[in-house]
Amino acid sequence: MTKALYPGTFDPITKGHIDIIKRASSLFDELYIAIMINPRKKCTFSVEEREELIKKCVCDLSNVHVVSDSNLTVRLAKKLGCKVLIRGIRAIADYEYELSQATSNMILDDKIETVFLVARPEYSFLSSSIAKEIAVFDGDISNFIPEEIVEEVTKKLYK
Ligand code: ADP
């Protein structure tokens, strides 16, 4: 059985993340989505809120689990028995960052492989930050954010 871990900030989860989750969950037996807590990153949604939002969107995927952690990603992967880290690549800017992360993780634990999934063209521009910038103005985020959580995300940002 091959288990994979998809780490990220997910502040909040977008349709781009969901697409990666669906594709990764069909490639591996079990997929863990991990909200990685980085105290240097200022997030809009609390870890608990992000976890709830993700769970609402993935409840129909039986081999997908949601966890959160504040340790090194490779340590979490090892603890959960995941040999693979999943990351999404949208553009060359992502690649530069992802390459340094993947190489660092390889140095930390060379038994864990990073697998990159290329973003679908319709989501290649999409980020949590863009969705939040639109939601602040009560703009329509239904093309960016899964429909199950559109209302909740807009409510949090539009004051
Ligand atoms: P991080 O802060 O770890 O980059 P994110 O939640 O922004 O966390 O992203 C998690 C992963 O999902 C990253 O590998 C990122 O490149 C990928 N990702 C983000 N948005 C998209 C998208 N629209 N399509 C495909 N992959 C994406």
pLDDT of residue 67: 98
More confident residue, 41 or 81: 81
**Residue 65 a catalytic site member:** no
91 assigned to some structural domain: yes
Residue closest via CA to ligand 1's atom 18 equals 88
Report the share of the chain in percent with pLDDT over 90.
Answer: 96
**Residue 78 a catalytic site member:** no
Mean pLDDT of the 119-134 span: 96
- pLDDT band for 111, please (50, 70, 90 cuts): very high
Q: Containing domain of residue 73, as a range?
A: 3-124
Report the number of distinct structural domains present in the chain. Answer: 1
85 assigned to some structural domain: yes
- CA of 59 from ligand 1 middle (Å) equals 20
Helix (H, G, I), strand (E, B) or coil at 19: helix
- pTM, to two decimals: 0.97
134 assigned to some structural domain: no
153 assigned to some structural domain: no
pLDDT of residue 34: 98
CATH of the domain at 17: 3.40.50.620
- Torsion sign (Cα): 117, 120, 126, 128: negative
Average pLDDT, the chain: 97
pLDDT at 155 over 90: yes
pLDDT of residue 133: 96
pLDDT at 11 over 90: yes
Q: Is 80 left (phi over 0), alpha (psi -120 to 50) or beta?
A: alpha
131 assigned to some structural domain: no
pLDDT at 145 over 90: yes
157 assigned to some structural domain: no
Residue 87 exposed, middle or buried by CB count within 10 Å (0-12, 13-18, 19+): buried
154 assigned to some structural domain: no
132 assigned to some structural domain: no
- pLDDT band for 159, please (50, 70, 90 cuts): confident
Q: Exactly one of 15, 50, 87, 128 is catalytic; which is it?
A: 128
**What is the 3-state secondary structure of 35-84?**
EECCCCCCCCCCHHHHHHHHHHHHCCCCCEEEEEECCCHHHHHHHHCCCE
